[in-house]
């Protein structure tokens, strides 16, 4: 019996979630393993020769900024699907409230780079538009996504009029002093309280100023795109496969060359802060947009050709559990409460560790799903949301 359109759609979304979780680890491991500034300015820390350089290039071109967009795209598609099944919006808002609490605990107690709180806040905001037609959803999503580059460039051009201390803070965050780098390394190799002195302020900045400047536009844009594409039937992953092949070809064909130009430009200008913010970062934002749809087209093409992609589907069905498991494993490996390898593992070794953790995620997910329908974190999320619905006794 052929799978139903709704069943095929769910498996395609699960496969994309799985890809986002696994691919996102290749990006996030840099934040777990090394100083914060090195995520955007690779010259700050570590070796950039040979295998380490190629590991950085591969991550920059194929992963950086792409998989969070895929997750937002699928999150938006999931919101549209949920709106069809659950007519009561209050149920959705309770789920988002529970996810926000979980995200805040994750960010402030374990790892500052949490995405759950951001997804929950944006997911609660855009849910109101789930019943809109596909065309307006897609157009609005593109407009919202396009806001960040204009906002960022405008703020950068106004840098001479910023307060001197604000401009100095920006430069220090881009290229911190050796003493600042040493202090950050010592903190993360220390105990939980030592880490917290860095983690809590960084999490607050990430969840406030960076959300307002970039992520609210980027994530809401992709969520609306996901809603619109869901309504158009894009995620059914059925023939014609030519549409997905075109998405794949255009996404990688436009995005990858642009990414290599960004790399050339950044190195040729010595990773200058102003050039990066005015030229490289806006280009990277749009190359990420293209490559995001390249990856999406690849998964949907494979599904339309009859490839089940079971490893990705298994990881995607336990997306929340796998996401939190990454933080538990990686903070244990790199932080002082575990093995204390922070700033001791070079980029090529980080990528090797990522490949090993991919195997762990796939094996653990498939074993778990043999006995249980949902993951432990998914169950806790549902239970917390359900608890919010219980009437109070008078």
Position 237 pLDDT exceeds 80: no
Rounded mean pLDDT, 11-29: 96
- Interatomic CA distance for residues 112 and 271, integer angstroms: 25
Which residues, other chains included, contact 330 with Cβ-Cβ below 8 Å and sequence gap of 6+? 28, 29, 32, 33, 111, 357
In Å, how far are 68, 259, 376 from 63, measured between CA atoms? 9, 11, 27
Q: What is the pLDDT of residue 4?
A: 47
Q: What is the DSSP letter of 345?
A: S
Distance of CA 18 to the CA centre of its chain: 12
178 lies in some domain: yes
19 lies in some domain: yes
Report the 10 Å Cβ neighbour count for 95. 22
Tokens read off for 330 = 């990686």
Tokens read off for 277 = 């913010």
Query: What is the pLDDT of the chain when averaged over all its residues?
Result: 92
Tokens read off for 352 = 């090797």
Q: What is the pLDDT of residue 9?
A: 61
Position 192 pLDDT exceeds 70: yes
393 lies in some domain: no
245 lies in some domain: yes
Q: What is the pLDDT confidence band of residue 391, given thresholds at 50, 70 and 90?
A: low
94 lies in some domain: yes
DSSP string, 167-195: HHHHHHHHS--HHHHHHHHHHHHS-HHHH
Residue numbers of the domain that contains 294: 5-387
**Number of domains into which the chain is organized:** 1
Tokens read off for 276 = 């990066």
316 lies in some domain: yes
Position 338 pLDDT exceeds 80: yes
394 lies in some domain: no
168 lies in some domain: yes
- Interatomic CA distance for residues 193 and 188, integer angstroms: 10
Q: What is the pLDDT of residue 390?
A: 57
Q: Using DSSP, state whether 15 is helix, strand or coil.
A: helix
Rounded mean pLDDT, 217-246: 90
In Å, how far are 23, 28, 90, 349, 359 from 38, measured between CA atoms? 19, 12, 41, 16, 27
Residue with structure tokens 């019943």?
131
If 0-12 CB within 10 Å is exposed, 13-18 middle and 19+ buried, where does residue 280 land? buried
The per-residue pLDDT for range 68-103, each reduced to its tens digit, is 999 999 999 999 988 777 667 888 899 999 999 999
Q: What is the pLDDT of residue 347?
A: 97
Tokens read off for 220 = 């809401």
Closest listed residue to residue 15, CA positions, set 319, 261, 275: 319
Report the 10 Å Cβ neighbour count for 94. 17
Q: What is the pLDDT of residue 1?
A: 38
The per-residue pLDDT for range 167-188, each reduced to its tens digit, is 888 888 999 999 999 999 999 9
């Amino acid at each position: 019996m052929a799978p139903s359109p709704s069943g095929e759609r769910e498996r395609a979304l699960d496969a994309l979630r799985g890809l986002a979780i696994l691919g996102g680890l290749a990006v996030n491991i840099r934040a777990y393993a090394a100083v914060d500034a090195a995520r955007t300015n690779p010259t700050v820390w570590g070796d950039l020769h040979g295998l380490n350089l190629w590991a950085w290039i591969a991550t920059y071109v194929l992963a950086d900024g792409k998989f969070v967009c895929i997750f937002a795209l699928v999150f938006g598609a999931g919101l549209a699907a949920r709106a069809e099944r659950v007519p009561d919006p209050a149920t959705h808002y309770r789920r988002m409230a529970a996810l926000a609490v979980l995200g805040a605990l994750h960010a402030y107690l374990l790892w500052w780079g949490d995405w759950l709180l951001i997804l929950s806040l944006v997911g609660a905001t855009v849910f109101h538009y789930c019943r809109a037609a596909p065309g307006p959803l897609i157009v609005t999503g593109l407009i919202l996504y396009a806001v960040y580059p204009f906002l960022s460039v405008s703020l950068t051009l106004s840098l001479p009029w910023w307060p001197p201390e604000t401009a100095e803070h920006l430069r220090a965050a881009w290229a911190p002093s050796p003493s600042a780098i040493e202090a950050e390394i010592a903190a993360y190799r220390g105990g939980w309280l030592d880490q917290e002195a860095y983690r809590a302020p960084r999490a607050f900045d990430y969840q406030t100023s960076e959300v307002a400047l970039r992520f609210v536009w980027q994530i809401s844009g992709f969520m609306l795109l996901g809603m619109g594409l869901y309504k158009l039937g894009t995620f059914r992953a059925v023939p014609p496969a030519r549409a997905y092949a075109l998405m794949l070809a255009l996404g990688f064909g436009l995005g990858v060359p642009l990414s290599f130009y960004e790399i050339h430009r950044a190195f040729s200008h010595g990773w200058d802060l102003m050039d990066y913010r005015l030229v490289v970062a806006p280009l990277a934002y749009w190359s990420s947009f293209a490559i995001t749809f390249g990856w999406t087209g690849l998964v949907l093409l494979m599904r339309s050709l009859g490839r089940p992609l079971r490893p990705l589907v298994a990881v995607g069905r336990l997306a929340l559990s796998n996401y939190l498991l990454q933080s538990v494993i990686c903070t244990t490996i790199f932080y002082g409460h575990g093995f204390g390898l922070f700033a001791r593992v070079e980029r090529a070794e980080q990528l090797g560790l990522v490949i090993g953790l991919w195997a762990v995620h796939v094996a653990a997910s498939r074993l778990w799903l043999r006995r249980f329908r949902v993951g432990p974190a998914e169950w806790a999320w549902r239970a917390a949301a359900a608890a919010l619905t219980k009437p109070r006794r008078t």
